[in-house]
């Protein structure tokens, strides 16, 4: 169900967020925040053989932030680390059938969260 400026897809992911939670012993954890509005996103990744096999999140934020987090986790599961790193905020926003201009920063937060989690993974697995 669409609500105000949000698409039906945003509202679906907001009302029924996928992959909420934590991953014990996550291979990569990323956390980003937006000081302008106080939103915070924490992303947990399980990576096996260079592939993201599981992704979970916890987010404090508005409808767009929660929907972006949920969509991101759906998008990166099954992707290689390289493919996951290539996900941009525009990919997330497009997958949600768009976000209001003022909420684009929520999809940027999703992009930053996956990059941050993959940086953490790289650090933990540096040879």
The residues assigned a catalytic role are 37, 106
List of residues contacting other proteins (CB under 8 A): 1, 3-5, 11, 14-15, 17, 20, 22, 31, 35-42, 58-66, 100-105
* Angstrom distance (rounded) from CA 36 to CA 105: 10
d(CA 68, CA 72): 6
Q: Write down the least CB distance from residue 4 to other proteins, Å.
A: 7
Instruction: Between 60 and 124, name the residue whose CB sits nearer to other proteins.
Output: 60
**Whose Cβ is closer to other proteins: residue 71's or residue 81's?**
71
Retrieve residue 98's tokens: 């768009």
User: Least CB distance from residue 19 to other proteins, whole Å?
Assistant: 11
DSSP category for residue 101: G
Q: Side-chain half-sphere of 41: how many Cα atoms within 13 Å? A: 34
Identify which of residues 81 and 89 has a Cβ nearer to other proteins in the complex.
Answer: 89
Q: At its nearest, how many Å lie between other proteins and the CB of residue 82?
A: 27
Q: How far apart are CA 10 and CA 59, in angstroms?
A: 15
Token output for 59: 């987010």
């Amino acid at each position: 169900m669409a609500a105000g400026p949000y698409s039906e897809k945003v509202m679906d992911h907001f009302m029924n967020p996928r992959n909420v939670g934590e991953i014990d012993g996550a291979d990569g954890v990323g956390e980003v925040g937006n000081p302008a509005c106080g939103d915070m996103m924490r992303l947990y990744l399980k990576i096996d053989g260079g592939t993201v096999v599981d992704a979970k999140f916890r987010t404090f934020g508005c409808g767009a932030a929660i929907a972006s987090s949920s969509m991101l986790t759906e998008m990166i599961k099954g992707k290689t680390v390289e493919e996951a790193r290539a996900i941009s905020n525009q990919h997330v926003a497009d997958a949600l059938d768009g976000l209001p201009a003022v909420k684009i920063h929520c999809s940027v937060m999703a992009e930053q969260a996956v990059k941050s989690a993959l940086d953490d993974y790289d650090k933990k697995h540096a040879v």
